Amino acid sequence: MKDRKGEGRIDYDLLRKFPKFIENSRLDKVICHDEWAGIAGYYAKKKMKIPYEVFLHERLGRLEVPIIGRMAERYRIRILKNATRLYFVTAKIANDTIQRFGINVLPDPPGFEFLGEPDLSQKLNRIVSVSMWDKGRNPFFFIELEKYIEDYEILLLGNWRDNDYYESFRKSIPGNSKISIKMNISESEKTSLIRESKFLVRFGDMEFGLATAVIESISCGTPVIINTGLGTADMIMEHDAGFVLDSLDAKVVANIVRNTDVKAMNSF
């Protein structure tokens, strides 16, 4: 897959050797944190009779690679079906997996780390968004959004999957724009920037996983604006922690930003 380079590739040989690494250990169970880590669990069970569970963090997508992709998809199902138990971080992924593959899974969303009461009087006129940026996360949306909220700073945090796409976006930002990009920041700096912002805006298509930035935003006391396609949309609606939209519309987002008194919100 073109976007899976370096550490993003699966080291199949290393995972298959996992039983060798634990041969002198006395383990009751192996927990694997994605379907490919499940290769290690699968061979631990096959060779050493050690049960394994798989904790999945994102929707099982199609592997768009000729021949090898189809083989890998079949192998992935075998790994999941041989697991003692499967967990998913959101109910949306769990339901999707049951419907598409007939595999029984348990939703197990994370807890929230309480990062202190937000100082609403210190909130800046800033919208923040955090992602591994690519075409699916559509950073160009924020250029459109800025047209309707010119008095707001827009801060995009996170790294970029493709440098050419990053350069294309950077060159498209108008000269007088208040859009800024920060990459390779520390966890503490990211938390501070989210906490200071009035809103976190995060959109995605077929992203049924957590969108970690949404969890971090709720923990910081910053309201979230997201779309129904994200796995955390149900959490936002259930806990009244922001706004869930049916579609990506810059005018609608701008109206929410302009007409919401963050200081009056009691979502947290």
pLDDT of residue 178: 96
pLDDT at residue 99 is higher than 90: no
Domains, the chain, ordered by start: 6-107 (3.40.50.2000), 120-264 (3.40.50.2000)
181 burial via Cβ count (<10 Å: 0-12, 13-18, 19+): middle
Spatial contact of 206 and 56, defined as CB atoms under 8 Å apart: no
Closest CA to 107 of 93, 124, 125: 93
Q: With 50 as the cut, is the pLDDT of residue 134 above it?
A: yes
Q: How confident is the model at residue 7 (pLDDT cuts 50, 70, 90)?
A: low
> How confident is the model over 67-83, as a mean pLDDT?
90
Residue 268: pLDDT band (50, 70, 90) is very low
Cα–Cα distance measured from residue 170 to residue 167, given in angstroms and rounded to the nearest whole number: 5
More confident call, 29 vs 56: 29
- Single out the residue of 37, 84, 28, 82 nearest to residue 57, CA to CA: 37
| Cα 245 off chain centre by | 17
Query: Beta-carbon neighbour count of residue 11 at 10 Å?
Result: 11
Angle (nearest 5°) at CA 243 between 60 and 193 = 85
For residue 213, which of 162, 119, 142, 137 has the smallest C-alpha distance?
137
Structure-block tokens of residue 150: 């010119």
How far is the C-alpha of 258 from the C-alpha of 29, rounded, in Å? 52
> Does residue 3 surpass a pLDDT of 80?
no
pLDDT band at 267 (very low <50, low <70, confident <90, very high): very low
187, two tokens: 């966890």
pTM of the model: 0.73
Tens digits of residue pLDDT in 9-27: 778 899 999 999 999 988 9
On the question of pLDDT at 140 being above 70, the answer is: yes
